[in-house]
């Protein structure tokens, strides 16, 4: 028996940047004859360049440098105006189609996630689904996998190797992935927003880094009682920098 299944996986990226209102220790100096806004008189600052070097400099500014404590990190000086590593997130595919599925024959597809983060707090990437794979009229669905003997969940990965274990799930490998993805046979469910489950972290680090790369592998397997048709859902990825 062959059952036609089509999975449409669309990834959305949301970047949340918190920008508190600025505060100034001394905003204006004025008299009847003059007004100086933001008084900070420097003998030199900027980014001098030549064919052999690029130099960030702050000369004459009060207390330039990087200062940190348990609760904060302060970078003072014109050299910190620009980010050393701009935050970025990319995914290699925004749509995945499993085509025609064969009973008791698992099918897998993969995408590559790449993150660069220069913020002092690192980054995280979270994922969720709008609902389990289902027909357009929602009359039938493919369950989120429970794995072989786990059960696995949206928070915990377990082995999924049996061809008689059915459902839809994912595996993570590469940089900064959760520790419960012990190997290529360990899978989780996606957090299901239609069941009030909250998105879960699939990549994270508190370190500054460039091109942190992970592979997400989607897996689906159906049994002989699964109703034929085209199944789909939407997977949402949220990439969050931390400063």
Residues 110 and 217 sit within 8 Å (Cβ to Cβ): yes
pLDDT digits (tens, 9 = 90+) for 155-201: 999 999 999 999 999 999 999 999 999 999 999 999 999 999 999 99
Neighbours of 142 (CB within 10 A): 23
Neighbours of 177 (CB within 10 A): 21
Whether residue 170 sits in one domain with residue 138: yes
* Domain containing residue 184: 2-17+86-242
Whether residue 213 sits in one domain with residue 155: yes
Q: Of the candidates 60, 80, 100, which is a domain's last residue?
A: 80
**Closest C-alpha among 48, 12, 46, 41 to residue 26:** 41
Size (the chain), residues: 243
Whether residue 175 sits in one domain with residue 64: no
Q: What is the C-alpha separation between 240 and 199, in angstroms, rounded?
A: 12
Q: What is the C-alpha separation between 170 and 179, in angstroms, rounded?
A: 14
Whether residue 96 sits in one domain with residue 75: no
Domains held by the chain: number: 2
pLDDT digits (tens, 9 = 90+) for 42-92: 556 566 778 887 776 666 666 777 888 888 888 776 566 556 788 999 999
pLDDT digits (tens, 9 = 90+) for 138-155: 999 999 999 999 899 999
Q: What is the C-alpha separation between 187 and 172, in angstroms, rounded?
A: 8
Whether residue 140 sits in one domain with residue 64: no
User: Has residue 118 got a pLDDT over 50?
Assistant: yes
């Amino acid at each position: 028996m062959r059952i036609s299944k089509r999975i449409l996986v669309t990834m959305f990226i949301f970047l949340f940047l918190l920008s508190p209102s600025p505060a100034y220790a001394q905003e204006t100096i004025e008299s009847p004859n003059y007004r100086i806004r933001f008084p900070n008189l420097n003998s030199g600052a900027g980014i001098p360049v030549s064919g052999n070097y690029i130099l960030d400099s702050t000369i004459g500014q009060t207390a330039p440098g990087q200062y940190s404590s348990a609760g904060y990190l302060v970078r003072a000086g014109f050299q910190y105006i620009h980010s050393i590593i701009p935050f970025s997130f990319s995914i290699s595919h925004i749509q995945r189609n499993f085509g025609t599925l064969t009973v008791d024959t698992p099918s897998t597809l993969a995408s590559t996630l790449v993150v660069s983060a220069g913020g002092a707090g690192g980054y995280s990437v979270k994922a969720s689904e709008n609902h389990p794979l289902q027909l357009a009229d929602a009359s039938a669905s493919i369950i989120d996998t429970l794995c072989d003997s786990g059960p696995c969940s949206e928070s915990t990965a377990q082995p999924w190797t049996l061809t008689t274990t059915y459902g839809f799930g994912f595996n993570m490998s590469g940089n900064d992935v959760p520790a419960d993805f012990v190997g290529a046979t360990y899978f989780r469910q996606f957090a299901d927003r239609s069941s009030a489950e909250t998105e879960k972290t699939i990549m994270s680090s508190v370190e500054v880094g460039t091109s942190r790369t992970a592979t997400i592998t989607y897996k689906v397997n159906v049994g002989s009682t699964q109703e034929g048709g085209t199944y789909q859902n939407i997977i949402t990825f949220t990439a969050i920098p931390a400063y």
